Chain A
Amino acid sequence: MTDQGRLNANEARLKGLLLRALAGEAPAYQAWLKELSAHLRAYFRKRLTRFPDEVEDLVQESLLAIHNQRHTYDADLPLTAWVHAIAKYKLVDLLRRRARRDALTDPLEDESDFLVATDSEAAEAKRDVGKLLGQLPDRQRLPIVHTKLEGLSVAEAARLTGMSESAIKVGVHRGMKALAVMILESSVDRSFSPVRPHEH
């Protein structure tokens, strides 16, 4: 199949999965996120050739961002444009944070190959999201641990913690947002391997 053909097929399939996910189908969401992470990894690995260590952290940061902002997807828009804009935003943000824009080896504007390239070989992430999760306050951490890690229902988690069901939902929602903020803040402070940028 040609690249364009593969792109169109991937766009249609992934969009279908996401629309089912946004309607509340967890298995479709999991399949979508898994496939998306392979595309993100390929995209970042190609563009962060000088910082291969950063790739997996950025994949995870982008997945969390996409999860938290998934309500901004409009079914009338191509999925590729939406996902690519988020990936590019996260990539530019990372490079800007480090003022190392020279690290770019590939133009960012090109979204055409986004859904063609995949990379399923996950490297080890340097930043441990699990540890960050542990730093959340109980009212956010417990709802996430019970409903998302242990797979309990909202009602079960509410009974277990003595919190109300709406407090569980709010706790999960706020906790995921707080996690994204912690990642944003932790990556500003993180020291960076001293690579001298090329002078142009």
Chain B
Amino acid sequence: MKTDDLVMLLANGGGAAERHALARRYALAIALGLATATLLLLALLGVSHSFGASLLSPMFWVKLGYVASLAVASLLAVLRLSRPGARLDWVPAATAVPVLLMWALAVAVLLAADPVQRLGLLLGATWAVCPFLIAMLSVPLLVANLWAMRGLAPTRLTLAGAAAGLLSGSCGALVYCLHCPELGAPFLGVWYLLGMLIPTAAGALLGRYTLRW
């Protein structure tokens, strides 16, 4: 087929495009992913007994803000990386801000604590399972977000996959807040971050195979 014939073929029947395609696809993916992750949590882990009481603790809201701001920053990165030619600009820096703030808080907490208590503050009670549970909860989100991205046009596949992974990990961590009793800044700065980085690495590896178009 000659190129002019292909042009005719493509143009015939109109070029009207789906409107707000990015917002619609990611809203659907995140909603389905969050719902599935919440069901997983309810079925396998349950809601923490202290969840109601923890709502009164300011540190609970700091933890929620930490995870939620990472979710928002990675969503911005995902939206930009789904469009050819869109620049990331300040988005990577914005992604680093919540992590740096949590680390600063963690250092302050550790410095103020009695030296014998420091290891306990860092490890909490659940350090050995926390990253893996966050990673597990982010699996449905990663599947959904990579599906959404596949229908768009990422041109930097590894980076786009990593951003989709971080979005999935931070949404998974958000759901995990229902179960996890940990509120210490040193714990959140290490183990939550690790939990979110596992799907980030998975997304980066999967990106170049699943996102080609």
Contact = CB atoms under 8 A, between A and B. Distances in A.
A and B: real partners? yes
Interface of A: 21-30, 32-34, 37, 41, 56, 59-60, 63-65, 67-74, 77-78, 80-86, 88-89, 93, 122, 124-125, 128-130, 133, 144, 147-149, 151, 154, 172, 176, 180, 184
A154 B13 CA distance: 8
A85 B10 contact: no
Contact of B7 (A22, A37, A85, A130): A37
Interface of B: 1-19, 21-22, 82-86, 152-153, 155, 212-213
A180 B150 CA distance: 13
What does DSSP make chain A's interface, helix, strand, loop or mixed?
A: helix
Given A37-B3, A85-B155, A29 B15 contact: yes
B84 A89 contact: yes
A93 B153 CA distance: 13
Shortest Cβ-Cβ A-B pairs, 9 listed: A81-B85, A29-B15, A85-B84, A24-B16, A30-B11, A71-B21, A85-B85, A130-B1, A69-B153
B152 to A, nearest CB: 5
A67 B7 CA distance: 10
A33 B13 contact: no
A148 B8 CA distance: 8
Contacts, number: 127
B6 A60 contact: yes
B86 to A, nearest CB: 6
Contacts of A125: 1-3
B15 A74 contact: no
Given A25-B14, A93-B212, A148-B13, A63 B85 contact: no
Contacts of A88: 155
B155 A129 contact: no
Nearest to A133: B1
Contacts of B153: 65, 69, 72, 86
B29 to A, nearest CB: 15
Contact of B17 (A28, A71, A84, A180): A71
7 contacts: A72-B152, A74-B86, A122-B2, A130-B5, A144-B9, A149-B9, A151-B12
B101 to A, nearest CB: 30
A26 B2 contact: no
Contact of B14 (A24, A33, A82, A128): A24
A133 B9 CA distance: 11
B83 to A, nearest CB: 5
B155 A89 contact: yes
